[in-house]
Amino acid sequence: MCVFCKIIASEIPSERLYEDDDMIIIKDINPQAKIHLLMIPKEHFPDITAMNDKQAATLARMLKTLGGLTDKLGLENGFRLVSNKGDDGCQSVPHLHIHILGGEKLSENMA
**Angstrom distances, CA of residue 72 to CA of 25, 48, 66, 93:** 12, 25, 10, 26
Residue 96 · residue 47 · CB < 8 Å = yes
User: Which position among 88, 92, 108, 111 is part of the footprint of ligand AMP (CB under 6 A)?
Assistant: 92
Active site (annotated) includes residue 97: yes
Amino acid at 89: G
Residue 10, interface with ligand AMP (CB under 6 A)?
no
Q: Tell me which of 36, 44, 97, 99 is the catalytic residue.
A: 97
- List contacts with ligand AMP (CB under 6 A): 3, 12, 14, 26, 28-30, 38, 84, 90-93
